[in-house]
Chains A and B, each alone.
Chain A
Amino acid sequence: TQLLEQSPQFLSIQEGENLTVYCNSSSVFSSLQWYRQEPGEGPVLLVTVVTGGEVKKLKRLTFQFGDARKDSSLHITAAQPGDTGLYLCASEGNQGGKLIFGQGTELSVKP
């Protein structure tokens, strides 16, 4: 079973700072997804990366997929309080679409 190691688990920063969240696996990802979850709600898909070396941008969020497709990162530029939430990476296993989630990164952006 593929395991996803996500770091850091907790991050508390001031508004305007930059941050990076990492997601690593010992196995190759077929694809990798990043989600954001707010308290009391379900996760919302931010992006899916598929190709090694791929970079995708979503406003102030930049997602990278490692060349070997075993790691990924999420970089947030000039974080805002509205970015506060739980960020999750997830990968689809080889078994019928099951998603395996990383441990999550709890981000708190203080004004």
Chain B
Amino acid sequence: GAVVSQHPSRVICKSGTSVKIECRSLDFQATTMFWYRQFPKQSLMLMATSNEGSKATYEQGVEKDKFLINHASLTLSTLTVTSAHPEDSSFYICSARELAVYNEQFFGPGTRLTVL
């Protein structure tokens, strides 16, 4: 199967700072990437859908100005949590898909964000 990486795997930041998380498809080109967040003992909640070269589509209730998503190339999408607060602490997971090749999404290993 295809491989998706995320960086960093863990990050701790102070309240008010911004944090960038990278999602890369290592051995395929992802026309679409998805960003999820997951709280402890809960399921994944889709935050946004990102298509290469266009603006991300955010799910209802997700602040687009707070969670900036950029999908500048077919192998890289970034999620920037701006002015982070403790309530933004969560596990952020990306997935990537290339419809023409794979009929499934491939998930990254996740990024644990802790905001102090």
Contact = CB atoms under 8 A, between A and B. Distances in A.
A25 to B, nearest CB: 14
Query: Interface range on chain B: under 10, 10 to 19, 20 to 34, or 35 or more?
Result: 20 to 34
B50 to A, nearest CB: 11
B35 to A, nearest CB: 11
B109 A42 contact: yes
Count chain A CB atoms within 10 A of each CB in B6, B46, B105, B109 and give the residue with the most.
B105
Interface of B: 4, 6, 32, 34, 41-46, 49, 91, 93, 95, 97, 99, 103-105, 107-110, 112
Query: Interface range on chain A: under 10, 10 to 19, 20 to 34, or 35 or more?
Result: 20 to 34
11 contacts: A6-B43, A33-B104, A41-B110, A43-B93, A96-B49, A97-B32, A97-B99, A98-B46, A98-B49, A101-B44, A102-B43
Contacts of A41: 109-110
B42 A42 contact: no
B112 A40 contact: yes
B104 A103 contact: no
